[in-house]
Chains A and B, each alone.
Chain A
Amino acid sequence: MSETFAPATLAEARPASVVTEGLWVRGLLIAVAILFLALFLVLPLVTVFAQALAKGFGAYLAAFTEADAHAAIRLTLLTAAIAVPFNLVFGIMASWAIAKFEFWGKNLLVTLIDLPFSVSPVVSGLIYVLVFGAQGLLGPWLLAHDLQVIFAVPGIVLATIFVTFPFVARQLIPLMQEQGTAEEEAALTLGASGWHAFRTVTLPNIRWGLLYSVLLCNARAMGEFGAVSVVSGHIRGLTNTLPLHVEILYNEYNFVAAFAVASLLAGLALVTLLVKSLLEWRYADEIKAGARGH
Chain B
Amino acid sequence: MPGATEGRASERTGGSTAIRVENLSKTFDTAAVLHDFSLDVRAGELLALLGPSGSGKTTLLRIIAGLDFPDDGRIVFGAEDATRLPVQQRAVGFVFQHYALFKHMSVAENIAYGLNARKRSERPAKAEIKRRVGDLLDLIKLSGFADRYPSQLSGGQRQRIALARALAVEPRVLLLDEPFGALDAQVRKDLRRWLREIHDRTGQTTIFVTHDQDEALELSDRVAVLDKGRLEQVGTPDEVQEAPVSATVLKFLGDTIEVEAIAQGGEVRVDGRLTPVRAPGGLVGPVKLYARPWQLQFAEGDGAHLQGLVRSSYRTQGRQRIEVDRPEGKTVVVEAADTHRFAAGSPVGLRITGGHVFPN
Contacts and interface: CB of A to CB of B under 8 A. Distances in A.
Contacts of A196: 117
B98 A190 contact: no
Interface in B32-61: none
A189 B100 CA distance: 12
B102 A189 contact: no
B96 A182 contact: yes
Contact of B94 (A186, A193, A200, A201): A186
A66 interface: no
Contacts of A188: 67, 87-88
A172 to B, nearest CB: 16
Nearest to B117: A192
19 contacts: A182-B96, A183-B101, A185-B87, A185-B100, A186-B100, A186-B102, A186-B165, A187-B102, A188-B88, A189-B90, A190-B168, A190-B169, A191-B88, A191-B114, A192-B113, A193-B88, A196-B117, A204-B104, A205-B104
Contacts of A191: 88, 91, 114, 117-118, 169
Interface in B208-244: none
Interface string B91-115: 1111010101111100000000110
Interface string A168-199: 00000000000000110111111111001000
Contacts of A189: 65-67, 87-88, 90, 92-94, 166
Interface residues of A, number: 16
A196 B120 CA distance: 13
Interface string A197-223: 000110011000000000000000000
Contacts of B65: 189
Contacts of A182: 96, 98, 100
Interface string B156-170: 000000100110110
A193 B88 CA distance: 7
Nearest to A203: B104
A192 to B, nearest CB: 4
Contacts of B102: 183, 186-187, 200-201
Nearest to B98: A182
- Interface of A (DSSP majority class): helix
Given A183-B102, A190-B166, A192-B117, 10 more contacts: A182-B100, A185-B87, A185-B100, A186-B101, A186-B102, A189-B66, A189-B94, A190-B117, A191-B117, A200-B102
Interface of B: 65-67, 87-88, 90-94, 96, 98, 100-104, 113-114, 117-118, 162, 165-166, 168-169
Interface of A: 182-183, 185-193, 196, 200-201, 204-205
A185 B90 CA distance: 13
Contacts of A187: 102, 113, 117
B104 A185 contact: no
Contacts of A204: 104
B147 to A, nearest CB: 18
A131 to B, nearest CB: 39
Given A190-B165, A192-B113, A204-B104, A185 B88 contact: no
A190 B113 contact: yes
Residue of A187, A188, A190, A201 most packed against chain B (CB within 10 A) = A190
B96 A205 contact: no
Q: Which residue, of B65, B87, B169, has the highest number of chain A Cβ atoms within 10 A?
A: B87
B117 A186 contact: no
A189 B85 CA distance: 12
B12 to A, nearest CB: 27
A212 B100 CA distance: 25
A205 B162 CA distance: 18
A201 B101 CA distance: 10
A205 B103 contact: yes
B160 to A, nearest CB: 15
A284 to B, nearest CB: 15
Contacts of A190: 113-114, 117, 165-166, 168-169
Contacts of A201: 102
A175 to B, nearest CB: 13
A200 B109 CA distance: 11
B4 to A, nearest CB: 32
A255 to B, nearest CB: 51
Contacts of A200: 102, 113, 117
A183 B100 contact: yes
Nearest to A201: B102
A261 to B, nearest CB: 42
Max chain A C-beta neighbours (<10 A), residue from B91, B92, B98, B100: B100
Contacts of B88: 188-189, 191-193
A211 to B, nearest CB: 15
Contacts of B92: 189
B96 A186 contact: yes
A183 B102 CA distance: 6
Contacts of B168: 190
Contacts of B114: 190-192
A238 B94 CA distance: 59
B162 to A, nearest CB: 8
A201 B166 CA distance: 16
